[in-house]
Amino acid sequence: MEDGEFERAPSHFTDRIGTGDWPLEAGRYRLVVSRACPWASRAVIVRRLLGLESALSMAVADPIQDSRSWRFTLDPGDRDPVLGIRYLGEAYAARDASYSGGISVPAIVDVPSGRLVTNDYPEITLNLELEWAPLHRPGAPSLYPEALRDEIDAVNEDVFRDVNNGVYMAGFATRQRAYSRVVARLFARLDALESRLSSQRYLVGDTITEADIRLWVTLVRFDVVYHGHFKCNRRKITEYPALWAYSRDLFQTPGFGDTVNFDHIARHYYEVHRNINPTGIVPIGPDLSLWLTPHGREELGGRPFGDGTPPGPVAEGEEVPSVAAAA
């Protein structure tokens, strides 16, 4: 933008599975993610909490992109074993050969045709929570309860503008005034969230909701990359008593920390964004073992999964490195 502010491009493919040309069928679709990406991490967490692993397979892209963007070099033969493609862009081209925009994750691909269905990251989790309900596991929590949707939507709007997207606006700002403006908004919002979470365990109601997932994916990356790499360095999350305890509480909740790969996160940001970090050097810190320290949030009450139950063990082949090794 003219004043030096970063502007996020809107999602181009916005279809919803379970409507229109895309019927809900277990095993038909594949979720493509990067564990580095916060927008994709939302979908990974929701899929796990709702027990959709057997209904919706998942492809994990290499955190290091090349000129063709997200690639499947973590898989044998550098191809996704289900879709048979080397780059996510091939699924975009199968959907629209004339498309010349960005290739983003999360993305859901129709396996039989190899065509992209959606890259609409704000709506993918809601789609999984609503239209995919017939395929949820027994005991799946209600992450977007109807009675709380207005409040959840309002919280999400503030968090997206000032926090989720705010860190990117700070990191990619090209003028001092633009950077200073968005950083001020970011930390004003974090201060407000610190106050809100000082007296309640979760953002909306007494259970985990979509609002918590959307905030947490930024908090878990904050001290690792956003504080230094994106110059969001007024305070670390570890310096906010409530936000830090809240972050650890969720990290230690099944479905959250067991989806996080800090190595992918750090290497992606520091190695890919050469306009910000020309050397590509990846910092060695912070101490990841602190994520496993007691948080004390149980004293605030709350029922993490409401009337539901925790998810089962992580699916075979989807495990992530444990931060316990850093202890």
Q: What is the CATH number of domain 29-135?
A: 3.40.30.10
6's tokens: 């970063």
Closest residue by Cα to residue 107 from 115, 64, 82, 159: 115
Model confidence pLDDT, tens digit, residues 278-290: 999 999 999 999 9
Its pTM stands at 0.96
With a cut of 50, say whether residue 116 has pLDDT above it: yes
Closest residue by Cα to residue 39 from 135, 131, 156: 156
With a cut of 60, say whether residue 326 has pLDDT above it: no
Q: How many residues does the chain have?
A: 327
Mapped onto helix, strand or coil, the DSSP state of residue 113 is coil
With a cut of 90, say whether residue 5 has pLDDT above it: no
Q: Tabulate helix, strand, coil % of the chain (nearest 5).
A: 45, 5, 50
User: Hey, CA dihedral for 251, 252, 255, 259, is it positive or negative?
Assistant: positive
Residue 30 near residue 58, CB atoms below 8 Å: yes
With a cut of 80, say whether residue 194 has pLDDT above it: yes
Listed by start position, the domains of the chain span: 29-135, 146-302
CA distance 308 to 105: 29
With a cut of 70, say whether residue 271 has pLDDT above it: yes
Model confidence pLDDT, tens digit, residues 6-41: 565 666 899 999 988 999 999 999 999 999 999 999
Which helix (H) or strand (E) element contains residue 47?
helix 38-49
Share of the chain above pLDDT 90, in %: 94
Model confidence pLDDT, tens digit, residues 215-225: 999 999 999 99
Among all residues, which ones are annotated catalytic? 37, 168
Give residue 12's pLDDT. Answer: 86
Q: What is the CATH number of domain 146-302?
A: 1.20.1050.10
Q: What is the mean pLDDT of the chain?
A: 95
CA distance 235 to 221: 14
Give residue 2's pLDDT. Answer: 47
Residue pointed to by tokens 């809601």? 126
Give residue 1's pLDDT. Answer: 44
With a cut of 90, say whether residue 145 has pLDDT above it: yes
User: Hey, CA dihedral for 259, 261, 264, 268, is it positive or negative?
Assistant: positive
**291 marked as binding residue:** no
